[in-house]
């Protein structure tokens, strides 16, 4: 049982800040965790585009061989378990999570968020923009005793 299984990582709107936060997270995971399976989760396939940047490609090329990294959408991850999970883009908007598209069922999105949260055996790292964070982040805080 872990004390703090949910880790909140806030970033500014600039891509460089997201890159720096991800680089810091992975550098830490690579140096403190061995023989780990890490899952990078996105609501949409295009959420993974940030990993095409030179900065993150170079970082992932240096990962220890004992660490496995998979990139999956939340739908693809159903039923799977990983040591550590990183959930990208917890923001409001049409392509956020939950999506603000008129056709999206909020309860279905909430169930999908639950799937994302329950893929980890140890920690889930939530990447959250400082501006326009997902309502699901607020819901998490409303259920936590911060005293």
The predicted pLDDT at position 143 comes to 65
Within the chain, residue ranges assigned H as helices are 15-32, 54-61, 74-77, 106-117, 135-142
The predicted pLDDT at position 106 comes to 86
Q: Which fold has domain 6-142?
A: Rossmann fold (3.40.50)
- Indicate the domain borders of the chain: 6-142
Rg of the chain over CA atoms, in angstroms?
Answer: 15
**pLDDT tens digits for 26-68?**
999 998 878 899 999 999 999 999 999 999 999 999 899 999 9
The predicted pLDDT at position 70 comes to 96
Strand partners of residue 40? 71, 86
Q: In 3D, which of 79, 60, 76 has the Cα closest to residue 68?
A: 60
**pLDDT tens digits for 89-140?**
999 988 889 888 767 788 889 999 999 999 999 999 999 999 999 999 988 8
The predicted pLDDT at position 146 comes to 47
Phi and psi at 105, nearest 5°, equal -90, 115
Q: Which one has a higher pLDDT value, 142 or 89? A: 89
**Cis-peptide into 98, omega within 30 deg:** yes
For the purposes of burial, counting CB atoms within 10 Å of the CB of 99, is it exposed (0-12), middle (13-18) or buried (19 or more)?
middle
The structure's pTM equals: 0.90
For the purposes of burial, counting CB atoms within 10 Å of the CB of 16, is it exposed (0-12), middle (13-18) or buried (19 or more)?
exposed
pLDDT over threshold 90, residue 1: no
Q: Which two tokens stand for residue 146?
A: 């911060």
Tell me the pLDDT band of 147, cut-offs 50, 70 and 90.
very low
């Amino acid at each position: 049982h872990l004390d703090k299984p949910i880790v909140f990582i806030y970033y500014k709107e600039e891509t460089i800040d997201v890159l720096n936060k991800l680089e810091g997270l992975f550098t830490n995971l690579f140096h403190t965790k061995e023989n780990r399976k890490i899952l990078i989760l996105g609501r949409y396939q295009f959420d993974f585009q940030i990993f095409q940047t030179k900065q993150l490609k170079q970082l992932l090329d240096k990962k220890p061989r004992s660490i496995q990294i998979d990139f999956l959408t939340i739908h693809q991850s159903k039923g799977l378990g990983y040591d550590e999970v990183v959930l990208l883009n917890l923001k409001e908007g049409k392509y956020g999570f939950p999506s603000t598209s008129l056709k999206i069922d909020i309860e279905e999105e909430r169930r999908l968020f639950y799937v994302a949260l329950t893929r980890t055996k140890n920690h889930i790292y939530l990447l959250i923009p400082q501006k326009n964070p997902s309502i699901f982040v607020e819901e998490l805080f409303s259920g936590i005793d911060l005293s």
